[in-house]
Amino acid sequence: MNKEKLNAYLERMQKIKDYITSKGLDLDGKIVARYFRKRGWLIKGVPFVSIEQLVEHYIKVDNFLKIRQERNKNRREKRKEKKKEIDKRRKDEYFRKLREECKGRVEIAIKKKTQKERDSIINMRRPLSYEEQLVDKRWKEFREKVLNHNGKKCENCGSVRNLQIHHPRYVEGHYAWEYGIDEVVVLCDKCHKLMHSIN
């Protein structure tokens, strides 16, 4: 941009700033001037007539872009929600079929076994969701054992409120209570959330 064009541009930019200030509009004159300079100072292919016309057109464009961005954001959020819902349904359906399959196998096997064998089949390992594990009697016993061993306080900050058990490392195929006391950590809910955000 040569000196003459630069001066003309700065003069126009100053006029735009002055007009925006006088009208009390929430706009940046520099951004408005840059927007139209890139487009050759044209409005829909026609040279602008006045600063007022130029600013009014920019407001319309800006409002349109904001509305479009908001609409696209809402669409993205709806798609995410829909995907989560579909994933949850698929997961629930998978576990339902798995439980039915396991139940059917157990019922068939029980009919062929002695009482002792039946008891061992009933207690056979079956897939449990994490939520199911947390209400299991074995988890509650393990949790109480860990808390007593560690003095019922957070190992990070010393808090005695809202204590939780943190697994620093999960082993595939292990239930939440199938770890040694030294393999888990007692944390308060705040430290637990912090630990997961770091990991």
pLDDT tens readout for residues 46-73: 666 667 777 777 777 777 667 777 878 8
Query: By the 8 A CB rule, do 13 and 33 touch?
Result: yes
Higher pLDDT, 118 or 161: 161
Percent of the chain with pLDDT over 90: 4
Identify the pLDDT of residue 69: 78
Q: Residue ranges of the domains in the chain? A: 3-68, 128-198
Contacts (Cβ under 8 Å, ≥6 apart) of 36: 42, 43, 48, 54, 58
Beta strands 163-166 and 46-47: pairing type? unpaired
Q: What is the pTM of this model?
A: 0.38
CATH of 128-198 among 3.30.980, 1.10.10, 3.30.70, 3.40.1800: 3.40.1800
Identify the pLDDT of residue 45: 61
Identify the pLDDT of residue 20: 73
Identify the pLDDT of residue 54: 75
Percent of the chain with pLDDT over 70: 74
Work out the mean pLDDT of the chain and round it to a whole number: 76
Mean pLDDT across 181-197: 86
Q: How far apart are CA 29 and CA 38, in angstroms?
A: 14
